[in-house]
Amino acid sequence: MKKLETREDIELLVNKFYDKVAKDETIGFFFNDVAKVKWANHLPKMYSFWETLLFGQVSYKGNPMAMHFPVNEKVAIEKRHFEHWIKLWTETVEENFMGEMAETAIYKATNIANLMGYKMEMARR
């Protein structure tokens, strides 16, 4: 097992994670059917997002929260969906990486999932 240290590591992690997501019975439909994600566009944004979050390399510009509201309006993204997302993320990190930055990736993703879950719920009220 190796440490999570480079942009290439992030690309590997993100690719493996979204491979799982795209095939997942619980949340895959959000990406494939509701948002109709164009993976060739989405994945590079996620590489930059995680590079910015983990390594402080400010390569991501955007508002990830805003991208989820239109999906949430079509089909409710519920707390259980975010819990499943974090389960897949955690599994993927732990299958591929170890060390402090891997733990940080799980910690930050958990915080993001909790915040997004809360905001999506509030938007539906």
First to last CA, the chain: 44
84, 24 Cβ separation under 8 angstroms: yes
- pTM recorded for the entire structure: 0.95
What's the length of the chain? 125
Domain ranges for the chain, please list them. Answer: 2-123
Domain 2-123 has CATH 1.10.490.10: yes
Region 93-111 average pLDDT: 98
The alpha carbon dihedral of 80, 81, 82, 84 has a sign of positive
Region 90-115 average pLDDT: 98
Structure confidence at residue 64 (pLDDT): 84
